[in-house]
Chains A and B, each alone.
Chain A
């Protein structure tokens, strides 16, 4: 398994880099003026929570395809309304572009009106009302309230002669499988859209409304999850990771695992660096950079191959590196003069520090020398006047002659040390280090780093123990304090009289105790400083470290390592508890649906399981459904999983085909058109049921 550090710092090295290419600015929705030639054609509108498609039923493909967004701003007195592709990148935030949808249901009918205005005007409709019937898509079990408002808008505002409403998933199914009159209709439709996913069982008699299922997870949730995951992993790129970028990330780099847990295992094997490689970070980095340079040369070749691989889906099971776009910081050219000036400044500063240190050292030495002189005087006094000698000893806080001798010896030692030993020792150590550096620079640096790491860890551990409040009196901090206090007590034990507390200042001892670091801690800190100094020195000298701040390394900072996320993001549809939702995932919902059907029904339905909707464009979506359904069905059942030919436009195509086959003027049984008369007589929310529609919930008062 990989540790998070590996995920963040390493792992990129021999991997190909993918670029997050955002779609360019889209051109405005075109304005057509040939509406006159479509007099007996219906206007087909497939309005989804992500994008809207609209066009004439005579044609094979929709003329307009734009995001379902409306921006409103006050430029002058009039309210400026901008819809769909006319909204440019900046506008979406500037005009606070909104969708008329909440979840998969239209709630904001002013915005819906703006979108319908946009559609009709772009299609070039003229005259004082719309003369074409309109066929619209709606969500499964759309509340009557929404249908009522849409009908009111269409009949009263635009004067439409007839309207029809069908379910988008069923329209898509119609386009792909059952457009011929005598076709078998049985099938199970799994329609995964932007804001929700539906399971729609269909029998020969029509859709089984009571067995519909809706899971409130769709493409939007995947994009949102992708954005959150990357933002947490790379807090630096929080702002760079926009919704658009997360969407491209989701669309191009994620896929569904046919067996999630096995696939996870595959990832962990793939991305874990081998132990041999783990030894030296630096060398690895260098290697990686070299290889990248090589890779650049062979870029064109590689890219072609990659594309082929991706198409075949062979590249799965591999973590990816994704390059965020970045702007290289301008290279600051440093002139020779500037360099020299800086160098001089450094030298003078260093000199000053050195002088200061020397001065301090000398001062200390002087103090010591003076002390020694005084001790000598006292010693001389002994022969002359014993009483005065004793008095002077007391003044110096010394017990007797022995103590004096000891103190003198100590001072002498200290003096000679500071004169010769210290410098010599440091010099010897320095020479030794230099020698080792010449022999093997990388070894030395690695050793120093290891030492540094150990010391840092130790300090950190102690700090943690110190700060922890649990553990009562047994914590390190408390123990340290006790030790200090007892130390003070024993030092003061020389005094025969115990006058502690006579003076208020005595109590300050408790305040001071334990606040200073212990000598061993001081040593650690000192060692750390020393190692840091060495590291700074030798890393600078190390031969290959020169190009540390090339533009290349900056580019590396803008790379995202996308590993498990590739399968984790779309997996939320099957395991909603990944985003903290407690309802059933798609496979469990399928299981529930299957168990509610009779055996012959199930046998019929499983022959044609149909997958459609924008979110079903996720790679391997069909394969995953196949695996899940296979696991749920008895072995002897025949099973086929089909995918919509064009997941985005098939619902529109189905509606268009249906309206071509069922003219609004015909009076057949399957006629699903609501005329203005019906609307007036049977209620504003009236729905004429047909093969692809919802069930009308009639309110009996």
Chain B
């Protein structure tokens, strides 16, 4: 009788070790985790420090900040840079297409500002779409009303 509790506790222990064993197995199964621990060709202790470190977090400059830091204005005007090769603003009048069906849209709904191609689509806009859906359609071409 006195052995029962000990038996129970040893059973629990076994469960714990089992769980640990599972984890270890999993770690072994995943070769990348194993490999990443031993990369002989890497210089030990090297760390790229061109970032801001706050505690354990490392913050890298985003593209906008990178471009700002590059300070392209210091180069002559015709120097090809990341910003200068970006496509310029279009000078052609944009073609208008129906927001719902995608066909050529000669009309625009004055209320919702959705473009539409036929009277059926117009009816669809007014009968079956609620404001949220209309905004979804508008947001496809980033024309949804902005809340200020």
Contacts and interface: CB of A to CB of B under 8 A. Distances in A.
**A and B: interacting chains:** yes
Interface of A: 1-5, 7, 28, 31, 75-76, 78, 80-83, 86, 102-103, 105, 107-110, 113, 117-118, 120-121, 125-130, 140-146, 148-149, 152-153, 156-159, 198, 209-210, 212-216, 225, 228-229, 232, 261, 264, 267-268, 460, 563-565, 568, 575-585, 588-589, 592, 695, 697, 699
Given A110-B58, A695-B80, A697-B79, A159 B101 contact: no
B78 A210 contact: yes
B7 to A, nearest CB: 30
B14 interface: no
B141 interface: yes
B58 A81 contact: no
Contacts of A156: 43, 46
B5 interface: no
B123 to A, nearest CB: 8
A153 B33 contact: no
Given A105-B82, A141-B82, A583 B88 contact: yes
Contacts of B18: none
B39 interface: yes
Interface in B27-41: 27, 30-33, 35-37, 39-41
Top-3 shortest CB links A-B: A580-B142, A3-B120, A564-B102
A83 B101 contact: no
Contact of B81 (A31, A148, A697): A697
B63 A105 contact: yes
Contact of B62 (A28, A107, A140, A157): A107
21 contacts: A3-B121, A75-B27, A75-B33, A78-B37, A80-B30, A107-B60, A107-B63, A109-B50, A118-B32, A126-B40, A129-B41, A143-B70, A145-B70, A152-B48, A158-B43, A214-B86, A576-B90, A578-B97, A580-B143, A584-B91, A592-B88
A157 B46 contact: yes
Interface string B74-102: 11001111101111111110110100111
Interface in B95-137: 95, 97, 100-104, 117-118, 120-121, 123-124, 127-128, 133, 136-137
B140 interface: yes
Contacts of A697: 75, 79, 81
Nearest to A144: B70
Nearest to B59: A108
A584 B87 contact: yes
B137 to A, nearest CB: 6
Interface residues of B, number: 67
B73 to A, nearest CB: 12
Nearest to B93: A577
Q: What secondary structure prevails in chain B residues at the interface with A?
A: loop
A198 B100 CA distance: 31
Contact of B94 (A146, A216, A575, A589): A575
B1 interface: no
A70 to B, nearest CB: 10
Contact of B118 (A1, A76, A149, A563): A1
Contacts of A1: 101, 103, 117-118, 120
Given A568-B102, A582-B90, A583-B90, A157 B121 contact: no
A109 B102 contact: no
A78 B33 contact: yes
A296 B46 CA distance: 63
B94 A579 contact: no
B146 to A, nearest CB: 12
Given A4-B124, A213-B87, 18 more contacts: A4-B120, A5-B124, A28-B31, A75-B26, A81-B32, A105-B66, A108-B60, A117-B39, A129-B41, A145-B70, A157-B43, A210-B78, A216-B86, A264-B104, A575-B94, A580-B143, A583-B88, A583-B89
A86 B30 contact: yes
B66 to A, nearest CB: 5
B19 interface: no
Given A110-B48, A578-B141, A583 B87 contact: yes
Contacts of B31: 28, 31, 86
Contacts of B117: 1
Contacts of A117: 36, 39, 42
